[in-house]
């Protein structure tokens, strides 16, 4: 199956401006760098810090399948050192006067709200090409991603710079995509993986008796929820503004005012929220950056409510989410995302 997928992508590459060809080449290079974790742990020459991280990753991997019901397969049973800080760089885009993300469609994953590149320079060149055509863009490095079970995803060096909580979150999140993935609905997929990630981290830390780390995780989640609320409110105001269809110059001035209002709202709370979110509220703040946050967070409250209704019983929750997956995208938005996810992908400017 993996080889067949690569052949298809390589064949389609010239038809997609070489993007799919580059993606296939990057995935193939990643696959070739994999080394079984068991082999590294058995090797006395493996450096102690890496050994400790791989031992933790192994425990997390076993826990994910045993306690969270996530797929028990070859993913995260190997390790790959890519020699760079991120595995891919994602490009988000939104029209100048829209809060909805642009989507791109691919043979296997369907339509998604971002475009990933294995090389940062390519991601930034693509972002610049979009900017030159009037799009708002945002580029961000990603520590891990899921191939949806088509490949045996390895533990990456890009994942190991985090603490135990963050490594657990990454692994639980990406394995969740292998459990359930709905084509053409990025917000729903990311929200599902985020809810499972958070539930998994809480259970992992509680089972380990690590009360201080659990409390810090909950505090961090509460702070981020406040940041997301600020973003959600700003996007709602911008959505109303863009619906007015004012002359472009007037719209730009009012848009700038709303973005400055959002920066000021964060600045007023910065002492409590911390400086860790400055990347979001800096000079690069635009529709695309706001859409990148919304893509992962819009449907989280609705799915968290379903988890609560299931009594935090994960098999019951998974069954409820599979039922939602059978609905149309509009029905899912109404059921768990409210109006937050908007009316669909952005149109070209």
The 10s digit of each residue's pLDDT in 300-337 is 999 999 999 999 999 999 999 999 999 999 999 999 99
- Decide: 137 and 89 in contact? Cβ < 8 Å: no
Which uninterrupted H or E stretch holds 206? helix 186-207
> Given this model, what pLDDT does residue 282 score?
93
With a cut of 70, which residues of the chain have pLDDT below it? Answer: 1-17, 339-349
Question: And the tokens for 72?
Answer: 């028990």
Residue 161: its pLDDT value, please? Answer: 86
Structure tokens at 59: 């425990």
Among residues 182, 171, 174, 295, which one has the least CA distance to residue 232?
Answer: 295
- Strand 78-80 to 155-156 pairing: parallel
Q: Which residues pair with 89 in a beta bridge?
A: 117, 141
Q: Is 1 exposed, middle or buried (0-12, 13-18, 19+ CB in 10 A)?
A: exposed
Count the Cβ atoms, other than its own, within 10 Å of residue 58. Answer: 16
Q: Please report the pLDDT score of residue 19 as a whole number.
A: 86
Q: Which residues of 198-226 are buried (b: 16+ CB within 10 A; e: fewer)?
A: bbbbbbbbeeeeeeebbeebeeeeebeee
Question: CA torsion angle for 44, 48, 53, 58 (degrees, to 10)?
Answer: 30
The number of CA neighbours under 13 Å toward the Cβ of 258 is: 24
Average pLDDT, whole number, for the chain? 92
Which spans in 243-313 are helix H? Answer: 248-273, 287-297, 300-309
Cβ-Cβ contacts under 8 Å for 254 (sequence gap 6 or more): 241, 246
Residue for token pair 């509680």:
206
| Closest to 337 in 3D by CA, of 300, 299, 303, 301 | 299
State the pTM of this model.
0.91
Tokens 């590459």 belong to residue: 13
CA distance 41 to 131: 47
Residue 187 near residue 210, CB atoms below 8 Å: no
Q: What is the predicted pLDDT for the residue at 17? A: 54
């Amino acid at each position: 199956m993996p080889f067949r997928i690569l052949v298809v992508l390589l064949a389609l590459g010239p038809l997609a401006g070489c993007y799919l060809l580059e993606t296939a080449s990057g995935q193939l290079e990643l696959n070739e760098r994999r080394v079984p974790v068991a082999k590294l742990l058995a090797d006395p020459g493996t450096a102690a810090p890496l050994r400790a991280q791989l031992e933790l990753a192994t425990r997390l991997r076993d826990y994910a399948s045993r306690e969270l019901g996530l797929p028990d397969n070859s993913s995260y049973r190997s390790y790959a050192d890519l020699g760079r800080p991120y595995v891919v760089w994602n490009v988000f885009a939104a029209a100048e006067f829209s809060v909805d993300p642009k989507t791109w469609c691919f043979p296997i994953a369907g339509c998604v709200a971002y475009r990933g590149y294995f090389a940062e320079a390519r991601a930034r060149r693509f972002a610049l090409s979009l900017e030159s055509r009037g799009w708002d863009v945002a580029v961000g490095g990603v520590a891990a991603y899921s191939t949806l079970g088509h490949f045996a995803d390895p533990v990456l060096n890009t994942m190991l710079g985090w603490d135990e909580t963050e490594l657990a979150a990454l692994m639980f999140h990406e394995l969740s995509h292998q459990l359930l993935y709905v084509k053409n609905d990025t917000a729903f997929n990311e929200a599902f993986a985020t809810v499972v990630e958070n539930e998994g981290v809480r259970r992992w830390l509680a089972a380990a008796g690590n009360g201080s780390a659990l409390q810090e995780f909950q505090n961090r989640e509460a702070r981020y929820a406040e940041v997301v609320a600020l973003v959600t409110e700003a996007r709602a105001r911008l959505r109303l503004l863009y619906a007015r269809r004012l002359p472009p110059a007037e719209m730009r001035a009012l848009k700038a005012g709303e973005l400055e209002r959002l920066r000021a709202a964060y600045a007023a709370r910065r002492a409590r929220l911390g400086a860790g979110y400055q990347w979001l509220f800096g000079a690069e703040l635009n529709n695309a950056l706001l859409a990148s946050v919304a893509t992962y967070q819009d449907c989280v409250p609705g799915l968290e409510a379903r988890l609560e209704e299931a009594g935090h019983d994960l098999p019951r929750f998974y069954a409820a989410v599979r039922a939602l997956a059978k609905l149309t995208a509009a029905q899912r938005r109404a059921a768990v995302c409210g109006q937050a996810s908007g009316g669909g992908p952005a149109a070209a400017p």
